């Protein structure tokens, strides 16, 4: 299968694709000129936009769709800047999205990508706003009206701590439109929204088998202005959702900082987390009321405990690994992982598709593995002497499933993974699909540790200069799905072959 390399241009951040072909500037010009309030006919203020399973039938009958001016006096999109403490999660299980929003609130440059500036309630206000997300390889511009679902005059879903600030509710509505409905935002991991906010590089860290340099990795990620989220394991029952230690079971949190303090003649490496509920905190060591804070310098104690009972707390890296399943990091470049320069890294993006009976061969245990899409790349010269001598990884491969359905809840992710084979000298002149015999006699030099049911899987590893064959696959054969394969290399990617 020939690989198609994605090109810049339409679908870029500067020229995003318009969802439903809705042009924000044209719509604004028309509605301002006619002094009418915009109503989005592509995402109507009705039950279909809320979706099923979010509210009871009784509550659905009580819903009123109101504009900001009908909810609070002097409405504003943003009041005194944007902060993770501006909002709290509402009556929908989308903590994964709000954990990502909490991380987004730290990075003004990324915020401006997602929330284009200049949107204010002024004389040209017509109830029209727009937001931008990176969706499966392209940037999209999402137009919405500002008619929000309420009960008894209060927002049902995300709510602001400042009554007349509406960026959280409007951002959530725009993302609900992209997903299909508010109900389509139920359940997920922070990685999904983190990628949709940045279009960057996704790093998955398994906290049950963490790297030995985990704290340093997180510290570097903070320094590089990465976005980070994490998740607690599901409870054994649906009861007692909040554990005795204060953590919510099966819940997403935002990583908001790291710090080392000297306590009782020992260095403690701490990580700061935030609960998107805006309340509910860890009660163990180094929690807000822990006596351990009396063992550190007053300056450290004051800096770390500026505000109490805001959903934000500290814990040790050891407790973090014990009580959370994995860490999601999203960044502009993998450079923070080894302290290299972002310019050292090059990226290539390809699209492909598994088709049952044609190009869906399953994993390497199946005889049909060889029919999977194959992508051949050549890793050339080292970009700088540092990369030549560094012992860390120099290639990151990411595989993302691309859904065929609009509504997020209807998307069934498959178990996916990939293998990387070095092309030996005798196959250098080979053109087209590599045969089954090649895979019978050659082992991969790298591969995903496990096949996962996830929107995206990735691995970070080290390879030497040469040619490589990357084979993405589903775990089982005869499964149909589209995908995006992204390769980041610290050594220059010269040319695709197959």
User: 291, exposed or middle or buried, with CB in 10 Å at 0-12, 13-18, 19+?
Assistant: exposed
Token readout for 388 is 């030549």
317 phi and psi, to 5 degrees? Answer: -60, -35
Task: Give long-range contacts, CB 8 A cutoff, 24+ apart: 68-73.
Answer: 68/121, 68/146, 68/148, 68/164, 68/166, 69/121, 71/148, 71/150, 71/153, 71/154, 71/155, 71/163, 72/163, 72/164, 73/164
Q: CA neighbours within 13 Å on the CB side: how many for 409?
A: 16
- With b meaning 16 or more CB within 10 Å and e meaning fewer, what string describes 211-248? eeebbebbbbbbebebbbbbbbbeeeeeeeeebeeebb
Token readout for 47 is 């039950």
Q: Strand 17-18 relative to strand 138-145: parallel, antiparallel, unpaired?
A: parallel
- Determine the Cα–Cα distance for residues 227 and 216; give it in Å rounded to an integer: 16
Cβ atoms of residues 71 and 78 within 8 Å: no
Q: What angle do CA 471, 473, 478 make, to 5 degrees?
A: 135
Q: How far apart are the first and last CA of the chain?
A: 7
Which residues have a catalytic role annotated? 95, 251, 275
């Amino acid at each position: 299968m020939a690989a198609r390399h994605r090109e810049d241009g339409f679908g870029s951040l500067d020229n995003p694709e318009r969802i439903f072909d809705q042009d924000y500037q044209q719509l604004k010009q028309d509605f301002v000129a006619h002094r009418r309030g915009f109503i989005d006919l592509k995402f109507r203020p009705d039950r279909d936009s809320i979706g099923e399973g979010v509210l009871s039938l009784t509550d659905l009958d009580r819903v009123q769709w109101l504009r900001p001016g009908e909810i609070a006096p002097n409405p504003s999109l943003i009041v005194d800047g944007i902060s993770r403490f501006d909002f709290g999660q509402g009556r929908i299980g989308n903590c994964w999205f709000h954990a990502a929003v909490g991380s987004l609130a730290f990075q003004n440059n990324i915020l401006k990508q997602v929330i284009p500036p200049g949107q204010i309630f002024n004389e040209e206000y017509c109830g029209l706003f727009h937001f931008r997300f990176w969706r499966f390889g392209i940037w999209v511009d999402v137009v919405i009206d500002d008619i929000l679902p309420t009960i008894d005059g209060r927002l049902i879903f995300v709510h602001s701590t400042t009554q007349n600030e509406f960026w959280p509710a409007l951002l959530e509505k725009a993302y609900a439109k992209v997903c299909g409905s508010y109900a389509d935002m139920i359940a997920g991991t922070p990685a999904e929204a983190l990628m949709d906010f940045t279009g960057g590089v996704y790093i998955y860290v398994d906290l049950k088998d963490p790297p030995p340099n985990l704290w340093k990795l997180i510290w570097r990620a903070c320094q590089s202005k990465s976005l980070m989220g994490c998740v607690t394991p599901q409870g054994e029952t649906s009861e007692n959702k909040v554990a005795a230690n204060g953590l919510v079971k099966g819940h997403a949190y935002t990583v908001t900082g790291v710090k080392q303090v000297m306590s009782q003649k020992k260095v403690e490496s701490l990580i700061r987390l935030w609960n998107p509920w805006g309340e509910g905190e860890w009660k163990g060591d180094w929690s807000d009321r822990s006596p351990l804070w009396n063992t550190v310098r007053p300056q450290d104690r004051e800096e770390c405990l500026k505000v109490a009972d805001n959903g934000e707390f500290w814990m040790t890296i050891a407790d973090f690994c014990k009580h959370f399943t994995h860490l999601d990091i999203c960044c502009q470049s993998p450079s923070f992982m080894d302290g290299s320069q972002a310019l050292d890294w090059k990226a290539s993006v390809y699209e492909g598709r598994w088709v049952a009976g044609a190009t869906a061969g399953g994993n390497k245990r199946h005889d049909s593995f060889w029919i999977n899409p194959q992508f051949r790349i050549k890793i050339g010269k080292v970009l700088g002497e540092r990369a030549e001598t560094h012992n860390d990884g120099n290639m990151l491969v990411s595989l993302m499933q691309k859904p065929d359905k609009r509504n997020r809840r209807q998307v069934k992710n498959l178990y996916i993974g990939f293998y990387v084979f070095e092309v030996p000298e005798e196959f250098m002149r080979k053109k087209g699909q590599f045969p089954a015999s090649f895979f019978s006699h050659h082992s991969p030099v790298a591969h995903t540790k496990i096949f996962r049911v996830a929107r995206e899987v990735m691995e970070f590893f080290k390879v030497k200069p040469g040619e490589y064959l990357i084979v993405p696959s589903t775990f089982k054969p005869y499964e149909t799905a589209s995908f995006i394969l992204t390769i980041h290399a610290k050594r220059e990617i010269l040319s695709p072959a197959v």
